Structure 1
């Protein structure tokens, strides 16, 4: 059975988003990166929540998982803010959350 989560595409999105911090991307580029990352996170977090309740947990402690998931979901709802700096920070945080979820996904199912 093929994994419905495309780890390579998600990893490329994360790399691109983190690379945006090295330059001066337009607000549109940041918004697009945030939207794409949010979509990937939504897919990964759903799968991670299911795994957390299954036989192969994502986190050692269930409370750790619940807290981390809550923080990621809260971050997804933040928006880009009013300025370039807040948009850069938000995209970076989304990329790191996505990276964490992808790392746990690939640890469970392989690359």
Structure 2
């Protein structure tokens, strides 16, 4: 089962997001994105990877926000909410125009996705 790519503007129902998250597909996308820094990836390859990562981040972000909204308000919940807000703000950044900027955007988006996936899988084990 592959993870469905969801555009940032699409509404996602958290109950449906649980079904659509494919940890292996997202993990592979993250590995590929982080590996692009070791090669001279084309702008098209970076753009395609960024688009895929945006879909994964949006999917995970929606589900984790839903989980956070059900938690008791605490310092940890506030920290989580701030981190999710920063990741959401980063989603609003347009894809970089220059090769260095584009590479940096993909790398940061991959790190955001990696953190979200780690949090998601940890919560799923609880």
Assess, with a 3 A threshold, how the Cα gap between structure 1 residues 86 and 43 changes in structure 2: closer, same or farther.
same
Assess, with a 3 A threshold, how the Cα gap between structure 1 residues 80 and 95 changes in structure 2: closer, same or farther.
same
Q: Deviations over 1:51-70 (max 9, x none)?
A: 1122599x962221221111
Which runs of 5 or more structure 1 residues have no equivalent in the other structure? Answer: none
Q: Taking CA–CA contacts closer than 8 Å with sequence separation of 6 or more, which of the two structures ends up with the larger relative contact order?
A: 1
Aligned position for 2:61: 45
Question: TM-score, normalized by length of structure 1?
Answer: 0.88
Assess, with a 3 A threshold, how the Cα gap between structure 1 residues 56 and 99 changes in structure 2: closer, same or farther.
farther
Q: Distance in 2 between matches of 1:101 and 1:77?
A: 17
TM-align CA RMSD: 2.0
Greater shift in the superposed pair: 59-68 or 81-90 = 59-68
Q: 2:52 aligns with which of 23, 33, 36?
A: 36
**Alpha carbons 1:21, 1:92 under 8 Å: kept:** yes
Aligned position for 1:106: 121
Which runs of 5 or more structure 2 residues have no equivalent in the other structure? Answer: 1-17
Question: TM-score, normalized by length of structure 2?
Answer: 0.78
